[in-house]
Amino acid sequence: MIAGAALAGWHHNGSRGGWWRHGNGGYGWVGPLFWPFAYFDIYDYALWGRGATAPFWFYGHDDIYAGLFGPYDYEGLAGYLPPRGAPDVAAGRLASLCGDDSREVAGLPIEVMAQVIDPAEAQRAALDELANASVTSAQKIKAACPTTVALTAPGRLASMQQRIEAMMSGVATVQPPLEKFYGLLDDEQKARLNAVADDQGRKSGRRGNRSFTRACDVTEPSALRWPAEEIEARLRPTDAQRTSLAALQDANAKAAEMLSVSCRADDAITPPARLAAAGKRLDTMLQAVRQVRAALDGFYATLNDEQKAQFEAIGPRRTSLADRSDMMQRRGRR
């Protein structure tokens, strides 16, 4: 479902990828939605580990770049726009991609933990507290699911910032009860819980086989390099606009560096430490998005309507070119 929705803006049949696709095959953006499995990616990593193979760690600068140069044009986003007279339809479509915040779903990892550690009475009470916090966290993250479709780069980065802020709030909600619960476990119970995490990590690694890419080892593909020539040709900026554009390019480069330095997925070995690492990574992402967003708003304000339209067309054009290249490569392998 997510893959189909992510590729809905791609108008060339047979395509299976995209320059905005993550190295592990996932997607940072699905139409107007950033980070579709936000809740699950945070707590899957925090509870079960998987280090640099965890989907959580594949989110970063590439997604900011995709926010700047969205791969979906107006036609590609039409499926997310409400039909006339039915504004709730699009909101429902977007909400369906944001995950389930029900107790049955959000509490599932808690039940797995209970089976693994066989908690005593005091531990069970702390685990119930953690379960309640987990549901609350999921609800906070889902509440940040967009109800409207952003058709401009400033709108996409604003939506991205809102989503990350909600994720950070979700982490802050769960962190104290998780630390309390883990602190009540004896060494044997901790060992059993960590053993399950290790096993999950090995299974995840096997699924990736030869094509699997570790999140922190990703090198920038050519499709994600700053499209300076294309911007110049399409927008023909004035000298004053070039100054703002240079500031945006610089902010983007600094964001990439910040996120590269902060990608240290293998350091944390316990659930509380991994959740703390996730929170720290999200904080860095938020700083990066705010930095790029401020520069983007300054640049965008200098553009006329035609220039704005040309800027928004860069992403779909790059998508089309990447698709053609992908198809040629597959034909060459036959």
Burial of 267 (0-12, 13-18, 19+ CB in 10 A): exposed
Q: What's the average model confidence in pLDDT over 227-252?
A: 96
| pLDDT computed for residue 102 by the predictor | 54
pLDDT tens digits for 3-15? Answer: 556 555 444 333 4
Report for 190-194, 226-230, 260-264: range of highest mean pLDDT: 226-230
pLDDT of amino acid 54: 86
pLDDT at 325: 46
Query: Over 80: is that where the pLDDT of 298 sits?
Result: yes
pTM here?
A: 0.85
State mean pLDDT over 77-94. 62
Pick the more confident residue, 246 or 3: 246
CA distances from 325 to 13, 73, 188, 321 (A): 14, 20, 53, 6
| Better-scored residue on pLDDT, 144 or 68 | 68
Amino acid 334: pLDDT: 44
pLDDT tens, 141-193? 988 888 888 999 999 999 999 999 999 999 999 999 999 999 999 999 998 88
The chain-wide mean pLDDT, for the chain, equals: 81
Alpha-carbon gap, residue 151 to 309, rounded angstroms: 10
Residue-level pLDDT at 219: 60
Q: Which two tokens stand for residue 149?
A: 């479709």
Task: Give the model's pLDDT for residue 291.
Answer: 98
For residue 324, is pLDDT > 50?
no
Phi-psi region of 236 (alpha: psi -120 to 50; beta: other; left: phi over 0): left
